[in-house]
Structure 1
Amino acid sequence: MNIACIAWGSLLYKPQPLKLASGWHPDGPHLPIEFVRQSDDDPELALALCEGFKPVPTYWAWLATRDLDTARAMLGEREQIRPGYPECVGSIPPVDGAEADPRIAAWMQRKGIDAVVWTALPAKFAGASGRAPTSEEAVAWLDSLQGEDRAKAEDYVRRTPAHIDTRYRRLFEKRLGWRPLRESYVTQRV
């Protein structure tokens, strides 16, 4: 079974320890993602799946495993998802009675992909899991960061590929001047 991974954020430029068997392709499914997750470990506002936001393009790559459990474990390790939270790693075929995301299932069928995994961490803001910040809260929080913390948060936003053009990102560009870097992750082998 060939297994792919869908990505949209730091996984594109920092995939380790996830083992890829290809570079990143820019024609992943369009999904509702936005800068709505305060990281537990880094001072950044990460991209996360969040219903209600405009679907944007994602990336995908083949994984160097043919076992879905191994693929889920690799992604969980990379994303520092504690054991016991299988819902935070999405997959098709789904596990533990989860429903398959029809957008991803349709994309897989068009691509001829057997199985896929993705990060399914929820929005999180001000310590509340499942809470997405408003655009004004997001820009105010980022603007409040200082020194190295601010530099790390800016780097995360700027390294996100330009075609992942979200409403919050446009506000970050306008208010903070954080424009995308001219890096390309397309079909890079990692």
Structure 2
Amino acid sequence: MKTAIIGWGSLLWDDRPQFDQHHGPWYFDGPLLRLEFTRISVSRKRALTLVLEEELGAECRVAYTISNRESPAQAIQDLRIRENASEQQVGVYLPRTESSGLSQATVPKTISDWADQTDFDAVIWTGLPNNFHELNDLGEAFSHTSAITHLESLCEEGKRKSVEYIFRAPEFIRTPLRSELESLEWFAALWEQSRDLPRS
């Protein structure tokens, strides 16, 4: 069975051999999805990371790759381990099946419309939620102001990981927060300072 994996963030640039050995090259004509940097990542020292955002996000054309696993279940497990995600946090759409029989995040219509035009047996993606309100220190809802305040409050490693994640996101990922952050002198300066440091 042919399984496509949709990606838009660190899947494309943060090398993880245990995951990357099980898929092919990335293609950049995937579906249009609404994305924004609204998730606080514990594993990245509270950096902001990209997630699907139907209300807050900006529409971006995303990438996809093809798993070399024999079954969608194997590809799902690969993605779960790579993303440290639960079963409910991996989205699955099976174009030629009315019910997948698998637990999934909500399927954006743009994914189903795109997948229905392909020969894929399954399309999977990471469906981690926005957790900004729950995990930022002030308990505020996401906004550009609260996001910048959050980033400014991070330890130096957290700031570096945030800058790395946002600047290394593919150029086709254009969100309002990214544009605002890239215009801030301290943010751009930290990127220049950190870009030659060893990757953790």
Which TM class, normalised by the smaller chain length? Answer: 0.7 to 0.9
Change (3 A) 1:33 1:99: closer
TM-score (norm 2): 0.79
1:40 aligned to which of 20, 39, 42 = 42
Scaled by the length of structure 1, the TM-score of the pair is 0.83
Unaligned runs of at least 5 residues, structure 1: 182-190
CA contact (8 A) 1:30 1:56 kept: yes
Partner residue, 1:156: 165
What is the CA-CA distance between 1:99 and the residue it aligns to? 5.6
Residue pair 2:24, 2:67 contacting (<8 A) in 1 also: yes
Aligned to 1:173: 182
Q: Which residue of 2 aligns with 1:58?
A: 62
- Match of 2:14, SS state, is coil
Shift of 1:145: 2.4
Aligned twin of 1:89:
90
Report % sequence identity.
Answer: 29
SS where residue 116 of structure 2 aligns?
A: helix
Q: Which residue of 1 aligns with 2:2?
A: 2
Mapped contact 2:40–2:135 kept (Cα < 8 A)? no
Matches within 5 A, 1:1-150: 1-14=1-14, 16=16, 17-18=18-19, 19-43=21-45, 44-52=47-55, 53-81=57-85, 85-93=86-94, 94=100, 95-96=102-103, 100-127=107-134, 133-150=142-159
What does the per-residue CA deviation read over 1:127-173, in whole Å, with 9 as the maximum and x for residues that have no partner? 359x9611111122112224222111111111101110001101111
CA RMSD of aligned residues (A): 2.5
Shift of 1:26: 1.1
Letter in 2 for 1:168: L
Measure the CA separation in 1 of the matches of 2:113 and 2:120.
10
Change in Cα spacing, 1:124 to 1:23, as seen in structure 2 (3 Å) is same
Aligned-pair distance for 1:98?
A: 6.3
Higher relative contact order (CA 8 A, sep 6+): 1
In the alignment, structure 2 segments of 5+ residues that lack a partner are 95-99, 193-200
CA distance in structure 1 between the partners assigned to 2:103 and 2:82 by the alignment: 21
How far does the alpha carbon of each residue in 1:24-75 deviate from its partner, in whole angstroms, 9 at most, with x for none?
Answer: 1111111111000000221210000111122211110011212111111110
Which deviates further from its counterpart, 67-76 or 99-108?
99-108
Which residue identity is paired with 1:101? P
Looking at structure 1, the residues matched to 67 and 92 of structure 2 have their Cα atoms a distance apart, in angstroms, of 13
Shift, 1:97, TM fit? 7.3
Q: CA deviation at 1:15?
A: 5.0
